Amino acid sequence: MLDKLPLPIVLAPMASGATTPPLVAAVCEAGGLGSLGCAMHEPEAMDRDVAEIRRLTSRPFAVNLFVLPELETPDPAAVAAVWEILRPIRAKLGLDAGAPPPTKFGQSFAAQFERLVALAPPIASFTFGIITRAQMEALHGAGCFVIGTATSVAEALAWQELGADAVCAQGSEAGGHRGTFLHPYGEAMNGTMALVPQVVDALRIPVLAAGGIMDGRGIVAALALGATAAQLGTVFLRATECGITRTWKDALGRAKDGDTRVSRIYTGRPARGLDTGLRRLLEPYADTLPTYPVQLGLTAEIRAAAAKAGNAEYISAWAGQAVALSREESAAAIMARLVEGMRAAHDRLVMPR
Ligand SMILES: Cc1cc2nc3c(=O)[nH]c(=O)nc-3n(C[C@H](O)[C@H](O)[C@H](O)COP(=O)(O)O)c2cc1C
């Protein structure tokens, strides 16, 4: 499947509304693999977006979910404690500071998974955890090619042992959430350059390289490390077709190297994004905040109101370490630039005799 792609380029699935059907289809039409991030989709929204992708392209595409346990009722004391800290920011942003905290958090993974199997996309990909053997069998029975995310050799081997068809090796440069599921996240922070060759050597299935790859040079480097293709997220965040807010896109446009941090304060799970005032305010409480998706729900209104007001200090702006290499242009132009860059990088390679 992956080795039959015209180009070894995968649009990373990006929840948060980033990977719209037009963006996914544009990457597929340009010869890459587009991925739809469905982690925050209700099953009906998955139906709608997959139908639109199928209308826009006949090429293969991927649908991605976060593997999560069913949510237990969160500890009310922990929720109340965060809510108290957030009240002044809510007031500052014109939100009702006296409002009670939300009571519904996240989507049901079981319901999303059931809809995924029914939709039977050509490729299904996962992060945050690992699916069960029965779920793997259901996906294979539906004809899906399955990709699991790994941030260590042990996680990659776990996916291979389960029967995955490929693994996405996510280096620590990557924007968005860490996919780590077998270790404390700090123990699986290998960079892409270090992680990919070790995963390639350990596996017999294809490996995608993700994290900090922003142009043709990076893609050629990933292929040289043994990856079958490169998975790119941040470079597509400023694409015309990308669904993130104007506030987030503009903040990415101002970003420099060194401007990203990994923190769990926004969602309850470590994720890399641009540093913000919200992170600096909540970081002292980072170890005691509720887990994903409770913390995600508690900060949701603040992040949305700030984005609407053009205030980048209180948004979550996921971005990888090489964000400064991004440009605002159409997905087709980005794809053309990536291919051009691959050719140039290849031509520059001089092998020792
Ligand atoms: C805004 C954003 C959202 C993301 N959402 C997802 C997601 O829903 N599922 C997933 O598997 N990975 C997600 N990722 C991680 C990407 O799959 C990938 O590992 C990362 O983008 C690669 O690093 P780069 O951003 O430096 O290209 C996300 C990344 C970003 C930047």
pLDDT of residue 322: 98
Name the residue of 10, 11, 14 whose CB sits within 8 Å of the most ligand 1 atoms, as the mutation to test its pocket. 14
Q: Closest Cα to atom 17, ligand 1: which residue?
A: 12
With a 6 A CB cut-off, is 176 part of the ligand 1 pocket? Answer: yes
- For residues 190 and 197, give the distance between their C-alpha atoms in angstroms, rounded to a whole number: 11
Q: What is the pLDDT of residues 144-174, one digit of tens each?
A: 999 999 999 999 999 999 999 999 999 999 9
Q: What pLDDT is stored for residue 351 in this prediction?
A: 85
- Residue 49 pLDDT: 98
CA of residue 82 to ligand 1 center, whole Å: 26
* Across 320-336, average pLDDT: 98
Output the average pLDDT for the chain. 97
Question: What are the angstrom distances between the C-alpha of 63 and each of 35, 45, 115, 237?
Answer: 6, 12, 11, 18
Give the pTM: 0.98
CA of 19 from ligand 1 middle (Å) equals 10
CA of 100 to the centre of ligand 1 (A): 32
- pLDDT for the residue numbered 245: 98
pLDDT higher than 90, residue 352: no
Span 20-64, pLDDT tens digits:
999 999 999 999 999 999 999 999 999 999 999 999 999 999 999
Average pLDDT over residues 291-312: 97
For residue 285, the model assigns a pLDDT of: 95
Mean pLDDT of 197-214: 98
Place of tokens 């691959």: 342
Domain spans, the chain: 2-71+106-244+326-348, 73-105+260-318
Which atom of ligand 1 is nearest to 323's Cα?
Answer: 26
Query: 78 pLDDT exceeds 90?
Result: yes
Query: Ligand 1: distance of its center to the CA of 309 in Å?
Result: 25
* Residue % of the chain over a pLDDT of 70: 100
For ligand 1, whether the C-beta of 213 sits within 6 Å is: yes
User: 327: left (phi > 0), else alpha (psi -120 to 50), else beta?
Assistant: beta
Instruction: Report the separation in Å between the CA atom of 97 and the middle of ligand 1, taken as the mean of its atom positions.
Output: 32
What is the per-residue pLDDT for 347?
Answer: 93
Q: Which helix (H) or strand (E) holds 177?
A: strand 176-177
- Mean local confidence (pLDDT), 178-198: 97
What tens digit of pLDDT does each residue of 228-250 get?
999 999 999 999 999 999 999 99
> Could you read off the pLDDT of 100-137 as tens digits, one per residue?
999 999 999 999 999 999 999 999 999 999 999 999 99
Q: Where does the pLDDT of residue 16 fall: very low under 50, low under 70, confident under 90, or very high at 90 and above?
A: confident
**Residue 190 in contact with ligand 1 by CB distance below 6 A:** no
Domain at 2-71+106-244+326-348: CATH architecture = Alpha-Beta Barrel (3.20)
Report the atom number in ligand 1 closest to the C-alpha of 66: 9
Ligand 1 mean position, distance from CA 236 (Å): 10
| 4 Cα: distance to centroid of ligand 1 (angstroms) | 23
Residue 255, ligand 1, Cβ within 6 A: no
Residue 109 tokens, joined: 């993974």
Residue 147 neighbours by CB under 8 Å, 6+ apart: 62, 123, 124, 125, 126, 164, 165, 166, 167, 168, 208
